[in-house]
Structures are given as C-alpha cells and as structure tokens.
C-alpha cells in the first residue's frame, strides 16, 4: 500500500462544517465593508519578493524568517507567497493608477503565508480580511477603520471579549530620534541581549521590541519609550483620534509598547486583542502607513488600514459557543428517485422544486437503489420532507403522482398529482412558493 498523503504542516483543510461557518463570517464581514463603501480588490497570492521586502522592511521577523520565497524555475525571478496584503494592494494600486483621482477605499480577503511555528491560532497558511483606505489624512479615516472593526465584533457577538489597544509611533523622523536612544540603551545592556537583538540593535532597533523572548521583553521594560520622542503634530493627530473614538463610544486602552511588527507604519497604530486565545491573542491589527505608496514607487499618498485573521475569529466563536445556528447548511427536502426509468423525471422534479423554493436545500437522490435504502439516506440527510417519485414496478410506466412523506415521528404521508407537487410541498412545509 502506498503511504498516506497529508496536508502541509500549519496549513489546514476546512471540512464542511467549518467551511460553512467561515462562509457565514465571510458574508457578515464583506457586508460591513460594503456598507462603509469599501470596494473589493483581488491580487495574486504570489508577488515578486521586493514588493514585501521593501514594504515590510528587511530587518523584520516576516522578511528575515517567515517568507515562503523561491526562484521561478524558468526565469529565476525571486518570488514570494504573500505574507500579508498591504504591500500587494499598494503595488496593484500604483500599477493600475488607482490613487490619483481622490480617495480610495478597498478591501480584500484571502490566504497569506508565513513560515512560523504552528500553534493554536498561528498557522503557516492563514486568511486575512483587510481594508486599505488611501488619500485621506485622518484622524477621521483612522476612526472609521477602527469603527469598522468595532461593528464587526458587534455583528459576531464578540464585543465583550475584544479590547482595542492604540499607540502613537510618530512620524518616520520621530522614530529616527527614538532609534538612536534605543540603540544607546541596547548598547548599555549588550551582555544581556540575545542573538536576534544584537543583530538588530544597529540595523533596525525598533524591531528588537518585537522579540518574543521573555528575557528580552523583561529587559525592554526599562527601555526608553517611543511616546517620549513623538512630535507635537503627531500628538495632536493622536489626541484628535482619541476624541473621535470617545465620541463614537469606542473604548480603548493606550499601550505605549505597541509598535507592530512591520516597518511601514506611522502615527496611530492599533490592535484588537482578546484573552480567549492564549498566546495568539491579536485578532486584528493596523494603522496609518503614509510613506508606503511613495516607498513602493507611487506618488506620496496618505493611507490607513487593518487586517484581521479569520482563523482567530472562528476559534473565538467556537470556544465561546457563539456559532449561530444559521451557520450550518440544512437540507430541507430529499427527492427519492426509485426505478431506473424515472431518473430524468427525478432530476426534473428536483430542479422544479428548487426553482419554486430557492431558499431551501434540496437533494435529489443519485445512484439508484431500492426505496428503503433511499429513505434511509433521506433520514440521514436531516431533511424534513421526502418527495418520492417511484416507477410502477409492474407496468414500468412513468408515474403521474408523487408521494410526500414527513421525515419526523409522525411519518405523515400523502400522494399527490405530479402537477400539484409544488403547492403540496408548500403546504407540508407551511411556506408558499
């Protein structure tokens, strides 16, 4: 026997029950995006590697350790499976001139790839919903993207379990001043630094702050705070955002250590976090990235956005038992097709029922078999009603009647003329066609 094949580690199959829950979440999220006037954009899952290196930053966990990069076997081009989508959306927006005729509000959904150590809530293929808003200075647009998140948690029943953390990381110039102070601090403690921190303390000291090493985090507790290096202009923007959030009734916590793991941010950054998921508690992250469009070759364009991981949202819904009953697809009617001579009629009957009752789930039996074995399948499907088309065993004639049978304890059944089957089904299920 040949050996069993399995999925790539950290990349998950979604079996029907989970996939149905995902569809429900996807429908809710995309509906909210649409309500806010955001339009969909779909970009390839593979980009040339510089798109991500230039956007996310050379000295970051994602670029240094987590990207699935390879050379195109034909032309040697360096390619990368997207680890996030802000860079790719900016690349596409520049390439197709989307940014020169006023503000743009875009959203996306799709798989992202990071070569991280898999654990609950952290995968190598995961899926993000994201919004990117271009051409607006804020803080109104910053408040809008945060409000979108708040509305989503409300729609999903997650509001009590998710907290908003915000921080102001200042302008690129502010951060240069901070980087110097941070490097000086790290130099003073060089003996206590791990290899990563030593490697980064000169090239990108901000990214030392992302360290997952508890010893580094303990040391960093006494490091200088970025907040103390932020310019007045940036502070005014941040204060105005806080006022807008308060006016919108959105509670937030300030977290001066929140710096995000990607280099493109400036001014306001935020994360929505939960206690429900253990170590992987960030369900959504974002902020302003006013320099990125120019950095990737476009005209200077202000920007803000966020992305959230749908796996983490679904884990929360599952662990809090908040899965709506409507998430699971139901079968309402099972059409039995008994006799080889009525297969075509059976297909037509099921089709006409679907046309008459577009909101119902209707399975037409396939594969033949005796009445009893088909009835068993009907019960197993969870359908409420069986519609039975049976060829006359003696004459082999096509019947002009069908039988309806309730698949409940009553077992109530009735034979009806095939032309009145729609009305009769409606009566049985107390719905009108």
Given a contact cutoff of 8 angstroms between Cβ atoms, the answer to whether 152 and 29 are in contact is: yes
Residue 179 CB, nearest approach to ligand HAM (Å): 21
Residue 107 CB, nearest approach to ligand HAM (Å): 10
Residue 222 CB, nearest approach to ligand HAM (Å): 26
Residue 305 interacting with ligand HAM (CB under 6 A): yes
Structure tokens at 328: 């699971």
Given a contact cutoff of 8 angstroms between Cβ atoms, the answer to whether 80 and 47 are in contact is: yes
Residue 38 interacting with ligand HAM (CB under 6 A): no
Exactly one of 82, 312, 365, 405 binds ligand HAM (CB under 6 A); which one? 312
- C-alpha span between 347 and 344 (Å, rounded): 5
Cβ distance to ligand HAM smaller for residue 204 or 381:
204
Residue 308 interacting with ligand HAM (CB under 6 A): yes
Structure tokens at 425: 């089904």
Give the alpha-carbon dihedral of 249, 253, 256, 262, to 10 degrees.
Answer: -70
Report the chain's terminal Cα–Cα distance, integer Å: 53
Residue 309 interacting with ligand HAM (CB under 6 A): yes
Which of these segments, 187-195, 285-293, 378-386, 394-402, binds ligand HAM (CB under 6 A)?
285-293
Residue 286 interacting with ligand HAM (CB under 6 A): yes
Alpha helices in 225-383 (DSSP H): 232-247, 292-295, 310-319, 343-356, 371-381
Within 86-105, the residues that bind ligand HAM by CB under 6 A are 86
Exactly one of 43, 80, 128, 416 binds ligand HAM (CB under 6 A); which one? 128
Separation in Å, CA 210 to CA 6, 163, 257, 334, 347: 33, 20, 10, 55, 59
> Three-state SS across 344-380?
HHHHHHHHHHHHHCCCCCEEECCCCCCHHHHHHHHHH
Cβ distance to ligand HAM smaller for residue 10 or 177:
10
Cβ distance to ligand HAM smaller for residue 38 or 123:
123
Residues linked to residue 107 through DSSP beta bridges, in sequence order: 40, 131
Residue sitting closest to ligand HAM (CB): 309
Q: List the beta strands (DSSP E) in 143-219.
A: 163-168
Cβ distance to ligand HAM smaller for residue 310 or 375:
310
**Secondary structure (DSSP) of 69-126:** EEE-TTT--EEEE-S-SHHHHHHHHHHTT-SSSS-EEEEEEEEEE--PPPBTTB-SEE
Count of positions on this chain that bind ligand HAM (CB under 6 A):
23
Residue 271 CB, nearest approach to ligand HAM (Å): 7
Cβ distance to ligand HAM smaller for residue 66 or 332:
66
Which of these segments, 157-165, 276-284, 356-364, 400-408, binds ligand HAM (CB under 6 A)?
276-284
Given a contact cutoff of 8 angstroms between Cβ atoms, the answer to whether 183 and 244 are in contact is: no
Give the alpha-carbon dihedral of 213, 214, 217, 218, to 10 degrees.
Answer: -150
Given a contact cutoff of 8 angstroms between Cβ atoms, the answer to whether 321 and 138 are in contact is: no
Residue 307 interacting with ligand HAM (CB under 6 A): yes
Residue 93 CB, nearest approach to ligand HAM (Å): 12
Within 192-221, the residues that bind ligand HAM by CB under 6 A are none
Within 69-88, the residues that bind ligand HAM by CB under 6 A are 84, 86
Which of these segments, 69-77, 184-192, 279-287, 357-365, binds ligand HAM (CB under 6 A)?
279-287
Residue 282 interacting with ligand HAM (CB under 6 A): yes
- C-alpha span between 260 and 208 (Å, rounded): 11
Residue 130 interacting with ligand HAM (CB under 6 A): yes
Exactly one of 114, 175, 237, 365 binds ligand HAM (CB under 6 A); which one? 114
Residues in the chain, overall count: 433
Which of these segments, 34-42, 70-78, 180-188, 299-307, binds ligand HAM (CB under 6 A)?
299-307
Give me the residues that bind ligand HAM (CB under 6 A), please. 84, 86, 114, 116, 122-123, 126, 128, 130, 132, 282-286, 289, 305-309, 311-312
């Amino acid at each position: 026997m040949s050996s069993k094949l399995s999925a790539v580690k950290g990349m998950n199959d979604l079996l029907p029950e989970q996939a149905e829950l995902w569809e429900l979440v996807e429908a809710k999220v995309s509906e909210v995006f649409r309500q806010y006037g955001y339009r969909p954009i779909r970009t390839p899952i593979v980009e040339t590697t510089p798109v991500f290196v230039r956007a996310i930053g050379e000295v970051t966990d994602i670029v240094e350790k987590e990207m699935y990069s390879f050379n195109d076997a034909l032309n040697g081009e360096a390619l990368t499976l997207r680890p996030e989508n802000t860079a790719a959306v900016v690349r596409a927006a520049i390439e197709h001139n989307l940014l020169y005729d006023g503000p743009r509000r875009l959203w996306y959904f799709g798989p992202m790839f990071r070569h991280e150590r898999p654990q609950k809530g952290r995968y190598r293929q995961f899926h993000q919903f994201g919004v990117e808003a271009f051409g607006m200075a804020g803080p109104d647009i910053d408040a809008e993207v945060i409000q979108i998140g708040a509305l989503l948690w409300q729609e999903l029943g997650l509001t009590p379990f998710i907290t908003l953390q915000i921080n102001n990381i200042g302008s690129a110039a502010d951060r240069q001043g901070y980087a110097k102070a941070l490097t000086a601090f790290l130099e003073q403690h060089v003996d206590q630094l791990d290899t990563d921190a030593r490697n980064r303390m000169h090239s990108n000291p901000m990214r030392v702050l992302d360290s997952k090493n508890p010893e580094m985090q303990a040391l960093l507790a006494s490091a200088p705070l970025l907040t103390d290096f932020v310019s007045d202009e940036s502070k005014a923007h941040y204060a105005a955002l806080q006022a807008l959030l308060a006016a919108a009734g959105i509670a937030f916590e300030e977290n001066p250590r929140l710096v995000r793991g990607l280099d493109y941010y400036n001014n306001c950054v935020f994360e929505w976090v939960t206690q429900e998921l253990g170590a992987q508690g960030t369900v959504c992250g974002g902020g302003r990235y006013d320099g990125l469009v120019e950095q990737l070759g476009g005209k200077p364009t202000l920007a803000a956005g966020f992305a959230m991981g749908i796996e983490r949202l679904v884990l929360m819904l599952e662990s809090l038992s908040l899965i709506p009953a409507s998430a699971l697809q139901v079968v309402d009617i099972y059409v039995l097709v008994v006799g080889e001579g009525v297969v075509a009629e059976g297909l037509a009957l099921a089709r006409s029922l679907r046309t008459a009752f577009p909101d119902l789930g209707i399975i037409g039996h396939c594969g033949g078999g005796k009445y009893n074995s088909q009835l068993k399948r009907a019960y197993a499907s969870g359908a409420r009603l069986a519609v039975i088309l049976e060829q006359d065993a003696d004459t082999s004639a096509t019947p002009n009647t069908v039988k309806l049978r309730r698949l409940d304890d009553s077992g109530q059944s009735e034979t009806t003329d095939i032309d009145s089957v729609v009305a009769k089904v409606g009566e049985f299920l107390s719905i009108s066609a």
